[in-house]
Structure 1
Amino acid sequence: MKRFTPPEQWSTQYLTTGAFADLADLFKIHELTDWPSCQWFSQFLNATTSQGQAIRFVEDEQFADESRYYEQIIFETGHVPTRQQNWHDLFGGFIWCLFPKTKSLINHQHIEEIKLHGLKERSKHRNALTLFDECGVVLAITHTQWQQQLRDHQWEHAFVDKREEWGRTIRPYMFGHANYEMLTQPYIGLTGKALFIVVPDDIFCKDLSSQYAYLDQRLYEMIKFDDCLRDNKNLSPLPLLGVPGWWTDNENPEFYSNTDYFRPKRRKRT
């Protein structure tokens, strides 16, 4: 895990461009000269638990003797245990700020699953919630053909032939904070889990905060009412370094010829 030493650790290469560009735009993380405190997040937070308690980040040390599970602490107190100088928890904090309704709902559904199955047994639903929470990428699309192409692993068609469409008819939004953490030290093979959301044609013309607010509401509705995370069937593998704009090497079309990373769709056996 990287530790913060101001200011060199805040590399502009990683924290203002690519997958981090939205964080730089909305939180100005590249301008910080010290590691953000738990209190620093309060200026961006507008989140509550499903019971109406305000979400607050609290230093993890305060829960050293706590017997409750992480999700139980959040649900019952509104306090999010947060490790200091820790990339994983830092990015987790940003996601709470960007997707407050969805994060609260996921927390609530974890608790409901714990009530049904206990802490030792992890249901398919709870596994899907965790997978999306850690590795999810929202792919906002204006045409459903994107979903079919990427689910079918038509990588070169989606990433090369239709490259100019990224930002126009499709745009990625990171949800999984573990993805962000791993992208601080990127490697070939790094893969997220895509969830597709059909959006209006004009969504990408709105300011960035409005885009995230819209997606947060849609995600909330899809998870709560459409039960899209009942299991992981709606989550599709997405090679993160292949996303246009997220990795400079993918500007060369030859980058996508690595079939160990950009794997063809496995045929189902009959």
Structure 2
Amino acid sequence: MKRFTPYEQWHSASLENGAFSHLNTLFSLTRLPDWPQCAWFSSYLDAKNANQQSIRFVDDACFSEEERYYEQIIFDTGQVPTRQQNWHDLFGGLIWCLFPKTKALINQRHVEEITQHGTKVRSKHRNALTLFDECGVVLAVSDDVWPKLLKNHQWQQAFIEQRALWGKTIAPFMFGHANYEMLTKPYIGLTGKALFVKVPNDIFCKDLAQQYQCIDQTLYEMISIDNCLRDNSQLSPLPLLGVPGWYDNNNPEFYSNTDYFRPKRRTRT
């Protein structure tokens, strides 16, 4: 089996895919000649963790196996262990740059849960934090019709009939770095977990960086005040390849695959 060089691995990904449009706009990913180093993130991030330590990305090789748990290292030192030439950790770093307040809060919540339950017992709250951190998609909505449509799996209406409203009354913002990793080689079946965030009408008129700042602040408040991730009940399945603009899905026939765009399962009374 052929072993690909880091250069070949970098250029083998489909980073031109529409799902990466925000990253290409804000970080010029497709213009990078090769994998970025840890120091590269510093030009995009000036943030502290909840313990008031500056966030810095450090090569994972610098940490021994006897070190504290991953989330504890970040909370205690501000250092984010980062594997080199690794999609998962690259996208994890970019999410820190886009959602610094929310990421610091999630890190703090993990440490609080570990302090209470230990590293081997995972509470409902910690499971929800992890699920959102890995697979979350923020759906910013200014119209309350969207949660009703998408939570009820009304895919045809949401993705086809109301397609022109995407970017006007609803917009997707990826949070889960595992989603991004899987989208480097997209496949039918790829599904994220949507969290609906109510936003003012004028947010979609702001530039992209301002939109992320607004959503980061709102997410922070939803988690810290409303405790929206106390469990995973507010997370809803979202077929990622169905999101308008994120894939080659302009043909309405694409959405006829009911194995992927599944109808809502009926609950027995």
> Residues of 2 paired with 1:213 and 1:71: CA distance?
23
For 1:86 and 1:36, the matched residues in 2 are separated by 10
- Find the residue that maps to 1:133 and give its secondary structure: helix
> Which whole-Å deviations, capped at 9, do the CAs of 1:61-120 have from their partners, x for residues lacking one?
011333311001101110000000000000000000000000000000001111111111
Post-superposition shift, 1:10?
Answer: 6.3
3-state SS, counterpart of residue 251 of structure 1: coil
For structure 1, the residue ranges without an aligned partner over 5 or more in a row are: none
Q: Which range is displaced more, 17-26 or 59-68?
A: 59-68
2:31 is equivalent to residue 34 of structure 1: no
**Residues 100 and 216 of structure 2 are in contact (CA less than 8 Å); yes or no, is this contact kept in structure 1?**
yes
Give the structure 2 partner of residue 166 of structure 1.
166
Corresponding position: 1:5 with 2:7: yes
The 1:2/1:221 distance shift into structure 2, 3 A limit, reads farther
SS of the counterpart of 2:45?
Answer: coil
- The aligned counterpart of 1:255 is 254
> What CA distance in whole angstroms lies between the structure 2 residues aligned with 1:181 and 1:175?
12
State the TM-score, normalizing by the size of structure 1. 0.96
Q: Does 1:268 find its partner at 2:239?
A: no
Structure 1 Cα separation of the partners of residues 5 and 83 of structure 2: 12
Q: What's the offset of the Cα at 1:4? A: 2.9
* Runs of 4+ in structure 1 over 6 Å off: none
Query: Quick check: 1:3–1:86 contact (8 Å CA) kept in 2?
Result: no
Checking the alignment, whether the CA contact within 8 Å between 1:7 and 1:34 is kept in structure 2 is no
- CA shift at 1:6, angstroms? 6.1
In 1, the alpha carbon distance for the partners of 2:65 and 2:222 equals 37
Question: CA offsets, 1:229-264, max 9 Å, x none?
Answer: 00000000000000000011x111111111110000
Tell me, yes or no, if the aligned pair for 2:48 and 2:55 is still in contact at 8 Å.
yes
Deviation at 1:3, TM superposition (A): 5.8
SS in 1 for 2:6: coil
Q: Supply the distance in 2 between the matched residues of 1:264 and 1:32 (Cα, whole angstroms).
A: 41
Deviation at residue 269 of structure 1 after TM alignment: 1.4
What residue is the counterpart of 1:22 in the other structure?
Answer: 22
TM-score (norm 2): 0.96
SS in 2 for 1:104: helix
CA distance in 2, matches of 1:19, 1:2: 25
The letter for the 2-side match of 1:172 is P
Q: What is the identity, as a one-letter code, of the residue corresponding to 1:208?
A: L
Rate the CA distance shift 1:63–1:208 in 2: closer, same or farther, 3 A: same
Amino acid at match of 2:109: Q
Q: Say if 2:199 is the partner of 1:199.
A: yes
Map of 1:68 onto structure 2: 68
Whichever residue aligns with residue 137 of structure 1, its letter is V
Indicate conservation of the 8 Å contact 1:6/1:33, yes or no. Answer: no
Distance 2:200 2:61 in 1: 44
User: What corresponds to 1:119 in structure 2?
Assistant: 119
What amino acid sits opposite 2:256 in the alignment? Answer: S
Contact 1:10 1:30 survives alignment (8 Å):
no
Closer, same or farther: CA 88–3 of 1 in aligned 2, 3 Å: farther
Deviations 1:34-61 (A, max 9, x none): 2100001100012211011000000000
For the 8 Å contact 1:192–1:240, the answer to whether it is kept is yes
Identity %: 66
Is the CA contact 2:191–2:237 (under 8 Å) kept in the aligned structure 1?
Answer: yes
Taking the aligned partners of 1:50 and 1:6, their CA distance within structure 2 comes to 38
Contact 1:2 1:86 in 2 (8 A): no
